[in-house]
Amino acid sequence: MPTGYNQGTNIALDSEESLERFISLLARPGSPDAVIQGDDGEDGLLVVHVAHGFGYLAYYGSSMFGHSVGEPASPALAAESEAGWPAGSGVPLTTFRATLVEFIQLRGQVPQAVRWQPKDP
């Protein structure tokens, strides 16, 4: 069962309600980055952030290390996030949510609901 970690809160992402609760925690002003990590044996993890009406995603796994390619108008998060997403990497919140759902359903594999910009690890 994938678990989301945010502000010292661990949330098992096993229902629509728990996913909505997790996203609402992320959307709070000043909320830090969070991580979605699957059970042992699942490949990757997502680092996620919500700011300025956009969702930011970074995937870390054996098949890829990178961040989401989003809306050109989405600002960089150098000061607001440890992950330091570049400008243009924030996606609409509907796409953000769909990516989280896909990540959970794929058991940690790279979601295809967004485009990814690979980075050197």
**Do residues 1 and 39 make contact, with C-beta atoms less than 8 angstroms apart?**
yes
Alpha-carbon gap, residue 54 to 24, rounded angstroms: 13
- CB-based contacts of 112, cutoff 8 Å, min separation 6: 102
Alpha-carbon gap, residue 91 to 74, rounded angstroms: 8
Instruction: Give the global pTM.
Output: 0.86
- The ranges assigned to domains in the chain are 3-118
Alpha-carbon gap, residue 25 to 65, rounded angstroms: 25
Note the pLDDT tens digit of each residue in 75-112: 998 877 777 789 999 999 999 999 999 988 888 889 99
